[in-house]
């Protein structure tokens, strides 16, 4: 019960209503005390007027008048004369005097609380103004026992009534909260649980019905999320099925192409001029097809091992990449530049980092060669307190807009015509395995720049 929203709301309602009643109780008990004392002054005034009407009242009648007024004596001031109208023995000395003519609220509350906490039966003097201007002042002495008992009885009745009101109010609020909030929330939770059991079933998507604006907004947001998630799951399922088919086709195609590659090796030895001229192109095409099949299979298996981190001398690694790329463009006007600080060592897997940088440089080289324009590829590196940064920049034609939209998406982010887009996707995955990221820093007619960020972290150098 206490762990439910409605249960806690019920308890809080009772607590807050009782707190409000307590705040009301304090001035109420002060007001009750004031009325009690004023009523005793009025009774005393009536008794004194009876005495004025007949000066021959006997002692028994005077005692009855004082007993009915619940006072010990009465002093009335009329025409500037202070006269003791009724009197009886006072059991104790007067402990305090209270003037009921225009008292402040603070005084009334203070005196009431002190009276309520004082258990002793004391004698007090009460001063007030006579009713209907029947004199200048009336003064009585009385005991506090009856006053305190009346205050306690009134306080108990107020508290009991407050408890009943609190319970009834809390019950009504409990019913209202269950109908307005709890039931709709449970409905949303039920939709979420039903959807989680079968997210591909569009019938389980929530249909907003709540009348409360905030709940309806939550239902609409959940509906949008579920709709998008269902569509995404269907798309991923289709891609998974397509990926499985592609992997199977790539496996069989790789075997066929490998056999074809063996035959082309023999064709290259032919003395026929036409065959000799066309054979290298055929060999190159088959080699690229085999590489594409192998890349597709590797990506589909998702078996890329975690990086084996070590200290890697970046200048040596970049030099190896550039040397291998220079061999591929020996007859093309393409220059390479290396700007790696001497002695700069990064914490990475050397083989995986080589593949990433090699892929970026190769992509730049292929784009430049395809454009037929002279250009330069530069690899630079820098570091700060938190990370190492490696830039691969070229002065080539830049990336087309379509390639930029799905740059790191497999089979969609190819940077050149006929490319699979796997190279950048795999490179980005390898960099993420190091805890870093690969990003396109800039591209345009003046060239393209990719940046690799490898965090230093707080791991001790290896």
pLDDT confidence of residue 245: 63
- For the stretch 43-65, pLDDT in tens is 887 777 666 655 555 667 667 77
Lowest-confidence pick of 80-94, 124-138, 230-244, 377-391: 230-244
Q: What is the mean pLDDT of residues 448-455?
A: 95
Containing H/E element for 173?
helix 145-177
- For the stretch 245-255, pLDDT in tens is 666 566 566 65
- Select from 458, 440, 459 the least CA-distant residue to 449: 440
pTM assigned to the model: 0.42
- For the stretch 330-350, pLDDT in tens is 667 889 999 999 899 999 999
pLDDT confidence of residue 191: 81
What is the per-residue DSSP string for 100-134? -SS--HHHHHHHHHHHHH--S--EEEEEEPPGGG-
What is the per-residue DSSP string for 27-54? HHHHHHHHHHHHHHHHHHHHHHHHHHH-
Q: At what angle do helices 183-197 and 213-267 cross, to 10 degrees?
A: 10
> Which CATH code, of 3.90.550, 1.10.287, 1.10.3470, 2.40.50, is assigned to 213-301?
1.10.287
Q: What is the mean pLDDT of residues 313-338?
A: 85
pLDDT band at 295 (very low <50, low <70, confident <90, very high): low
- For the stretch 1-59, pLDDT in tens is 556 666 777 777 777 777 777 778 888 889 998 999 988 888 887 777 666 655 555 66
Would you list the domain boundaries of the chain? 5-168, 213-301, 310-455
CB of 327 closer than 8 Å to CB of 336: no
pLDDT confidence of residue 344: 93
- For the stretch 200-225, pLDDT in tens is 777 778 888 777 787 788 888 888 88
More confident residue, 272 or 458: 272
pLDDT band at 83 (very low <50, low <70, confident <90, very high): confident
Domain 310-455 in the same topology as domain 213-301: no
Checking if the pLDDT of 418 tops 80, the result is no
For residue 247, CA distances in Å to 234, 240, 291, 293 come to: 20, 10, 13, 8
Tokens standing for residue 371: 């454009």
Alpha-carbon distance 87 to 62, whole Å? Answer: 8
> Which CATH code, of 3.80.10.10, 3.60.21.10, 3.30.565.10, 3.40.50.2020, is assigned to 310-455?
3.30.565.10
Strands (E), 308-446: 310-313, 334-339, 345-348, 375-383, 387-394, 437-444
């Amino acid at each position: 019960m206490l762990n439910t929203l409605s249960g806690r709301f019920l308890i809080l309602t009772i607590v807050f209503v009782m707190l409000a009643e307590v705040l009301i109780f304090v001035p109420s008990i002060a007001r009750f005390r004031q009325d009690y004392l004023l009523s005793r002054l009025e009774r005393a005034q009536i008794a004194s007027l009876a005495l004025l009407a007949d000066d021959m009242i006997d002692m028994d009648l005077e005692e009855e008048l004082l007993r009915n007024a619940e006072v010990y004596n009465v002093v009335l001031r009329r025409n500037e004369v202070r006269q003791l109208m009724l009197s009886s023995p006072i059991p104790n000395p007067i402990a305090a005097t209270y003037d009921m003519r225009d008292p402040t609220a603070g005084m009334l509350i203070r005196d009431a609380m002190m009276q309520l906490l004082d258990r002793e039966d004391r004698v007090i003097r009460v001063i007030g103004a006579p009713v209907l201007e029947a004199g200048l002042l009336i003064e009585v002495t009385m005991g506090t026992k009856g006053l305190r008992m009346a205050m306690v009885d009134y306080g108990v009745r107020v508290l009991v009534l407050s408890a009943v009101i609190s319970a009834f109010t809390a019950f009504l609020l409990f019913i209202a909260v269950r109908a307005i909030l709890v039931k709709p929330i449970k409905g949303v939770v039920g939709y979420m649980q039903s959807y989680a059991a079968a997210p591909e079933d569009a019938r389980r998507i929530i249909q907003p019905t709540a009348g409360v604006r905030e709940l309806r907004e939550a239902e609409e947001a959940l509906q949008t999320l579920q709709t998008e998630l269902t569509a995404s799951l269907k798309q991923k399922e289709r891609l998974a099925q397509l990926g499985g088919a592609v992997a199977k086709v790539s496996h069989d195609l790789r075997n066929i192409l490998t056999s074809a590659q063996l035959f082309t090796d023999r064709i290259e030895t032919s003395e026929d001029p036409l065959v000799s001229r066309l054979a290298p192109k055929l060999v190159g095409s088959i080699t690229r097809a085999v590489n594409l099949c192998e890349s597709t299979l590797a990506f589909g298996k998702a078996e890329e091992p975690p990086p084996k981190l070590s200290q890697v001398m970046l200048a040596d690694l970049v030099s190896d990449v550039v040397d291998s790329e220079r061999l591929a463009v020996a007859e093309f006007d393409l220059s390479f530049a290396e700007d790696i600080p001497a002695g700069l060592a990064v914490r990475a897997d050397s083989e995986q980092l080589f593949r990433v940088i090699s892929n970026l440089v190769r992509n730049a080289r292929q784009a430049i060669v395809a454009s037929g324009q002279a250009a330069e590829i530069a690899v630079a590196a820098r570091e700060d307190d938190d990370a190492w940064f490696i830039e691969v920049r070229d002065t080539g034609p830049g990336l087309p807009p379509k390639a930029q939209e799905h740059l790191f998406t497999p089979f969609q982010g190819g940077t050149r015509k006929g490319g699979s887009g796997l190279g950048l996707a795999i490179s980005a995955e390898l960099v993420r395995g190091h805890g870093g990221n690969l990003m396109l820093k800039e591209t345009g007619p003046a060239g393209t720049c990719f940046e690799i960020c490898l965090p230093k972290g707080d791991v001790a150098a290896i």
